Amino acid sequence: MQNWLLQRAYLTPERAALTYKETTYSWYELVDAAKHRARQLTTATIKKGERVAILAPSTDELVITIYACMLLQCEMVMLNRRLSATELAYQITDAEVDHVIVARCDRDKVNTTYVLLEDVRALAPSRVLLDEQWQEKATLSIMYTSGTTGSPKGVRQTYGNHQASALAAALNVGVSPTDVWLCTMPIFHISGLSILMRAVIYGNEVVLYEKFDVIKVVEAIVQGRVTHMSVVAFTLQQILQQMTEQNIDVPPSFKLMLAGGGAIPEAYLTKANVLGLAVAQTYGMTETASQTATLAPEYALSKLGSSGKALFFNTIRIDGATAAYEHGEICIKGPHITPGYVGRFNELSATSDGWLYTGDIGYFDEEGFLYVVDRRSDLIISGGENIYPAEIENVLHAHAAVHEAGVCGVTDDKWGSVPVAYVVTKEAVTAEQLREHCTAQLAAYKVPKQIYFVDALPRNGANKLLRRKLNQSE
């Protein structure tokens, strides 16, 4: 395939590409900055095709660095800034990266040799030949996602995966040269990175915020500055609340909000409809390079709670189901699906007979609309972040005083859901001591908000932990 960046700068050099704070780059300027950064990375001994981990906030400098790595055809391991040093060390080691690029504000989280992003910016450029052709099956990005074992897996996303995802989304939503995507999603998430990938392919502008700021977001929408945005339930709720308090109507210039990262409460969708805010629920995962199915806005209320139908090129089936409303595991096939993993899961096949078994439970209605019952039966989604109970349980089990531990999610007004732990002890320990133990090894949002001490954990006949019954153990 063509080098997307060189092609985009050639086709629409003067069109706006990226706005961060007060600076707007045209596509020529942005690609030119990425070329210069690629040459600086070469001076920093980063070679074409090497695997590079990146840890930095969502700024224009991160975008330039990502595009520079793409020009060098480096495989980028996108590191989650919310993770602890222990979690990041696992991913860096497991991915067997050649280099780590880290922003100065994040360097205390990295316990290995790294290159400071700020130092790279000061380097003189070296000469490097940039290929005009990219390989469709080459890995563009790697993102870690936990499985049911609690051990994070490095998911590969190829150039072909990202391109298929972008094209399918375009066929569903439509593309106009005047579209502007507001990006408040972290770029280390597939939801954030996919916005950057789509921008290059579509030739659209991205307005980038380092962090979600509801006041600024609503201003950008009301002023007609942006046309599209991706949200999770938590951020959507804040936007709706702000608009309601200010008695704001959504201008016709704003076209669509993509809502993912977990179920969207029906009350939010109803309120959005009253405000004239078009919200499309979407279903996707790291292994599918973003969206697999998306509900068209015209069905927002008639198919309340649905994630829509599979996007063009994609196929979805419910394993074992023979009729509408029968529940089963959601299985996906399409060109957007990862070819596999890296590190300790390198030999694990991502698919079986071409199908990705998601572990999520869902069903189709009589018209073929998908409803997701559970994003993996035990998964906790807190403020759009995926939390896997087994990962927390593994940390708790490592404490000398813990005999058994079980973790589940409980409803929270602010975050949607938060983790709580149920622990059987073998010696005296306090809840605060266990929380301190978790804090040292886990991201803050994964640390159990409450720890309950119980005599036994609920299990089935096969001695398998029944997490859904944990909150009955209190």
Mean pLDDT (whole number) for 278-301: 91
Mean pLDDT of the chain: 93
334 and 209 fall within a common domain: yes
Mean pLDDT (whole number) for 159-185: 96
DSSP label at residue 59: S
Label residue 462 by pLDDT band (50, 70, 90): very low
Label residue 435 by pLDDT band (50, 70, 90): very high
Residue 141 lies in a domain: no
Total number of domains constituting the chain: 3
Q: Does the structure show a pLDDT above 70 at 474? A: no
Q: Does the structure show a pLDDT above 90 at 327? A: no
Q: What is the CATH number of the domain that holds 53?
A: 3.40.50.980
CA distances from 285 to 189, 407, 416 (A): 10, 22, 19
Residue where a domain stops, chosen among 107, 134, 161: 134
**pLDDT tens digits, 92-130:** 999 999 999 999 999 999 999 999 999 999 999 999 999
Closest CA to 118 of 70, 77, 62, 76: 62
Closest CA to 169 of 376, 334, 356, 366: 334
Q: What is the CATH number of the domain that holds 198?
A: 3.40.50.12780
**pLDDT tens digits, 243-279:** 999 998 899 999 999 998 766 777 788 889 899 999 9
* DSSP states along 215-227: HHHHHHHHTT--S
Q: Which domain holds residue 306?
A: 180-374
* Per-residue pLDDT, 461: 46
Instruction: Please state whether 442 falls in left (phi above 0), alpha (psi between -120 and 50) or beta.
Output: beta
Length of the chain: 474
205 and 311 fall within a common domain: yes
Residue 170 lies in a domain: no
CA distances from 293 to 259, 385, 439 (A): 12, 20, 36
Give the span between the Cα atoms of 214 and 248, in whole angstroms.
Answer: 13
* Per-residue pLDDT, 460: 61
Give the span between the Cα atoms of 336 and 176, in whole angstroms.
Answer: 23
Give the span between the Cα atoms of 243 and 234, in whole angstroms.
Answer: 15
Q: Does the structure show a pLDDT above 80 at 446? A: yes
368 and 404 fall within a common domain: no
**pLDDT tens digits, 365-396:** 999 999 987 666 678 889 988 888 878 988 99
**pLDDT tens digits, 288-297:** 999 999 998 7
DSSP label at residue 87: H
Residue 359 lies in a domain: yes
Residue where a domain stops, chosen among 318, 345, 374: 374
Give the span between the Cα atoms of 469 and 381, in whole angstroms.
Answer: 18
* Per-residue pLDDT, 79: 96
- Tell me, rounded to whole angstroms, the distance of Cα 15 from its chain centroid: 27
Give the span between the Cα atoms of 282 and 285, in whole angstroms.
Answer: 10
Mean pLDDT (whole number) for 306-323: 95
Q: What is the CATH number of the domain that holds 428?
A: 3.30.300.30
Give the span between the Cα atoms of 105 and 460, in whole angstroms.
Answer: 47
